[in-house]
């Protein structure tokens, strides 16, 4: 079972902690690194956690 409480970073808009439970999309960037889009549980924006 995945751990949905692992932190991905913080919302760049409201500084709320975002966990893996809020991931919407995982993708690979052109440089080979992983990118993530997630929904912020507080401000409900779709963001790239920082």
What is the arithmetic mean of pLDDT over 17-44? 96
How far apart, in whole angstroms, are the C-alpha atoms of residue 42 and residue 27? 23
Sheet hosting strand 23-28, strand order edge to edge: 23-28, 34-39, 46-47
pLDDT at 30 over 60: yes
Whole-angstrom CA distances from 29 to 4, 17, 33, 35, 39 are 23, 23, 5, 6, 19
Q: What is the pTM of this model?
A: 0.81
Confidence of residue 2 (pLDDT cuts 50, 70, 90): low
Give pLDDT, residue 48.
Answer: 96
């Amino acid at each position: 079972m995945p751990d949905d409480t692992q932190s991905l970073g913080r919302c760049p808009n409201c500084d709320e902690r975002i966990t893996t439970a809020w991931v919407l999309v995982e993708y690979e960037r052109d440089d080979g690194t992983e990118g993530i889009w997630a929904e912020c549980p507080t401000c409900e924006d779709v963001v790239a956690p920082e």
